[in-house]
Amino acid sequence: MSGLIDLIAEALVRVRVKRPLVHHITNFVVMNDCANITLHIGGSPVMAHDREEVEEMVSLADSLLLNIGTLSGDRIDSMVLAGRCANKKAIPVLLDPVGAGATVMRSQAAKRLLREVKISFIKGNAGEISVLAGEDAAVRGVDFAETSGDLAKVACRLAKEYNCTVIITGAVDWVSDGQSTYSVQNGHKLMSALTGTGCMAGSLVAAFAGAVEDPMLAALSGLTCFGIAAELAAKREQNPASFKTALFDEVYALNSEKIKMLARFERVS
């Protein structure tokens, strides 16, 4: 894996040299955190939601992130417009189907986006991804409750269905492009004590997607970097609010040496 770890370290350098513009159409709960985490990794965030400007804005971007966490009909229409424009310009699109499976509206919105937009990445928790893959799963609000499926296989099957890269976040993260599947072990339990760490992980993956062409490398880079930063932050702070501040600091301070020393992932298929 040393060669892939070197590529992740190089990808971080590329993000900070290029400063990719990441167009977010995201939820109000985490908007500021997603903007800052994008900025700290080296990207340039922009939050633009209105249908009158999304096509113009995404035309300037290097990647597009669609997050359905605070949902409305107008917001989904804007996402479709932005996504189609991104497709025309070969700009990678990441979908975060927050709460899919919790309500009919959320599930239908996620499926509409998958039907009408070519999605490059689907990133969600185990429940959300399982629902989209047709598995039995319990989703409570926007939280994952339980699922009985093999997550590596679920990710692989959904990736094949939509010809994209699927990311399942959790205590262990899973990444599959339908051909190869990886588990990422970096991270810390304090991440679950904060709202929006999954959404922030999506922002990091989108930042890497705007700087490197390989979707699997972008996904592994975003998850590994975020997980390493969390581990380092937890060594400094053990209370959630203080940990959050330290987490942002560690993302900002991340470098190639830390990645090469601390990255932990493996190919499982």
Domain that holds residue 166: 2-267
Domain count along the chain: 1
The residues with which 92 forms a beta bridge, in sequence order, are none
The pLDDT score that the predictor gives to residue 146 is 60
Contacts of 56 (CB under 8 A, 6+ apart): none
The pLDDT score that the predictor gives to residue 144 is 54
Phi-psi region of 24 (alpha: psi -120 to 50; beta: other; left: phi over 0): beta
Mind giving me the DSSP string for 130-155?
HHHTT--EEEETTEEEEE-S-HHHHH
- Residue-wise pLDDT for 52-84, tens only, equals 999 999 999 999 999 999 999 999 999 999 999
The pLDDT score that the predictor gives to residue 147 is 67
The residues with which 169 forms a beta bridge, in sequence order, are 125
Contact 38, 27 (CB under 8 A): no
The pLDDT score that the predictor gives to residue 145 is 53
Write the CATH number for 245.
Answer: 3.40.1190.20
Q: Tokens for 113?
A: 């986006």
Distance CA 138, CA 144 (A): 7
Q: How many CB atoms lie within 10 A of CB 55?
A: 17
The pLDDT score that the predictor gives to residue 136 is 73
The pLDDT score that the predictor gives to residue 140 is 61
Q: What is the pLDDT along the chain (269 residues), one digit of tens a residue?
A: 779 999 999 999 999 999 999 999 999 999 999 999 999 999 999 999 999 999 999 999 999 999 999 999 999 999 999 999 999 999 999 999 999 999 999 999 999 999 999 999 999 999 999 999 998 766 765 555 566 679 999 999 999 999 999 999 999 999 999 999 999 999 999 999 999 999 999 999 999 999 999 999 999 999 999 999 999 999 999 999 999 999 999 999 999 999 999 999 999 99
pTM for this structure?
A: 0.96
Q: Tell me whether strands 143-147 and 137-140 are parallel, antiparallel or unpaired.
A: antiparallel
